[in-house]
Chain A
Amino acid sequence: MRHLRLLLTLALLLGPAHAGAQPKPSPDEFVPLSEIPPEERIPAINLVAAAYGFVWVAVLGYVWTLGSRLKKAEDEIGRLERKAR
C-alpha cells in the first residue's frame, strides 16, 4: 500500500513535467511555408535543375546504350555472314 501511494505521488509530480518535455509531434497537417525551418526548404531552382538534368542524362544514356547495342548487332551479323560464305 505504501509503495502504491509512493508511485501515485511520483506519477502526479512527474506527469506534468514529463508531458511538458514531450517532443513536438511530426506535422501531419498543412504547415505554411513561413513556419518551415530554413534548412528544410528546398529552393525551386534546385528541383527544376534536377528534373531537367535527369531527363537529359537519362535520354543521352539510353541513346548511348541503343547505339552500342546496334553496333554490336551489326558486327555480329557481319561476322555470321562472312562465316556463311
Chain B
Amino acid sequence: MTTAVKIQLAVATLMFAVAPWIVNAAPHEATMGLVYKIYFFHMPSAWMFMLAAIVSGVTSGRYLFTKNPKADATAVAAAELAVLFGLLALVTGPLWARKAWGVWWVWDARLTSSLMLFLIFVAYLLLRQFGGPGSEKLSAGLALFGMANVPFIYVSVNVWRTMHPKTSVVPTLPVSMGIPLWFCVTAFLLLFLALLSLRSLLERQRGRIDALYLAEDEA
C-alpha cells in the first residue's frame, strides 16, 4: 500500500467519523424535516456510483484498444466499486423516500435507470467470475454499455416527470446545507480513490499469481 493511499484512507476515515456531527449541525429542511439528512450520504454515494461506472467504462475502452492489463485491473476495480456505491445509493434512497414520498420505491426514470446500471455492473462481476477465458473482453463491452447509461441517469430528472429532486437542487443549496454536503462528497471521493487503488492492486497481484503458476507449469 502506497503512502498516498494510506493518507487517503486515514483522512476519509476521519471525515466519516466527524460527518455525523457536521450533518447534525445542518438545519432541518422546511417540508421534509430531519429525514432529508439522508441526502448527505445518499447523494455522494450516487455520484461515486456514476463516477465508478465512468472509470470502469473508460478503462475498459482503453483495455479493448491497447490490451493494457493495468487498464483491465482498474476497470474491474471500478466495476466492483460501482456495485458497492450503487448498493449504498439504492438502499439509502428508499429509506429517504419512505418518509418523503410515503413509498419505498417508484418505477420512475431516475430510480429505474439507476437500478439498471447497478444490475449491469453486477452482471459484469458475474461475467468476470464465471465467464472463463475471454470474459475480460465481453465484460469490457458491458462496462462501456454501463457508462453510456450514466448521462441518461443524470438528466433523467430534468427530462422525464419524476418525484426525484432535479439536478438544480445542489447549486441552489444554502451554505448551511452546502458545507455538510461538500464535506461528505470529499469524504466519499477520498474513500473511492483509496479503494480504487487497493482493488486495482489486488487485481494486478492476481495477474502476477497467474503468471507464476504459468511459469511453474512451464518449468
Number of interface residues, chain A, beta carbon within 8 A: 28
A73 & B202 in contact (Cβ 8 Å cutoff): yes
Is A80 part of the binding interface, using a Cβ–Cβ cutoff of 8 Å? yes
B215 and A74 within 8 A (CB): no
Q: B195 — which chain A residues lie within 8 A by C-beta?
A: 62-63, 66
Q: Is the CB of B212 within 8 A of A51?
A: no
Describe A's contact surface by its main secondary structure: helix
Q: Contacts A42-B99, A58-B87 given: A51-B38 contact, CB under 8 Å?
A: yes
Given known A48-B37, A80-B213, contact A59–B191 (CB-CB < 8 A): yes
Known: A66-B195, A66-B202. A47 touches B209 (CB 8 A): no
- Least CB distance, B202 to chain A, in whole angstroms: 5
User: Is A77 within 8 A of B208, CB to CB?
Assistant: yes
Query: In this assembly, does B206 line the interface, its C-beta being within 8 Å of a C-beta of chain A?
Result: yes
B110 at the interface (CB under 8 A from A): no
The count of chain B contact residues (Cβ–Cβ below 8 Å) is 35
Shortest Cβ distance from A45 into chain B, in angstroms?
6
Contact with A45, one of B34, B87, B209 (Cβ below 8 angstroms): B34
**Which residues of B, 59-101, contact A by the 8 Å Cβ criterion?**
84, 87-88, 91-92, 95-96, 98-99
CB < 8 Å neighbour of B98 from A45, A47, A84? A47
Alpha-carbon distance A63/B195, docked complex (angstroms):
8
A11 at the interface (CB under 8 A from B): no
Chain B residue numbers with a CB within 8 Å of A44 are: 33-35, 99
For the complex, is B47 an interface residue (Cβ under 8 Å from A)? no
B121 at the A interface (CB under 8 A):
no
In angstroms, Cα B191 to Cα A49, docked, is 21
Asked if A83 and B216 sit within 8 Å, CB to CB, the answer is: yes
User: How far is the CB of A18 from the nearest CB of chain B, in Å?
Assistant: 31
Mask of A48-76 contacts with B, CB within 8 angstroms, 1/0: 10111011101100110010011001101
Q: Which residues of chain A have C-beta atoms less than 8 A from B88's C-beta?
A: 54-55, 58-59
Query: Do the beta carbons of B95 and A50 come within 8 Å of each other?
Result: yes
Tell me, yes or no, whether B124 is within 8 Å of chain A by CB.
no
Bound Cα distance from A74 to B209, whole angstroms: 9
CB A79 to nearest CB in B, in angstroms, measures 9
Q: Would you list 28 pairs from A and B whose C-beta atoms are within 8 A, ordered by A residue? A: A44-B99, A47-B35, A47-B99, A48-B34, A48-B37, A51-B91, A52-B20, A54-B91, A54-B92, A54-B95, A55-B92, A56-B16, A58-B88, A58-B91, A59-B88, A62-B195, A66-B199, A69-B202, A70-B201, A70-B202, A73-B205, A73-B209, A76-B209, A77-B205, A77-B208, A80-B216, A84-B215, A84-B219
A70-B205, A80-B213 provided; 18 other pairs, C-beta below 8 A?
A44-B99, A47-B95, A47-B96, A47-B99, A48-B34, A48-B38, A51-B91, A52-B38, A54-B95, A55-B45, A55-B88, A58-B88, A59-B16, A63-B195, A70-B201, A73-B202, A74-B205, A84-B219
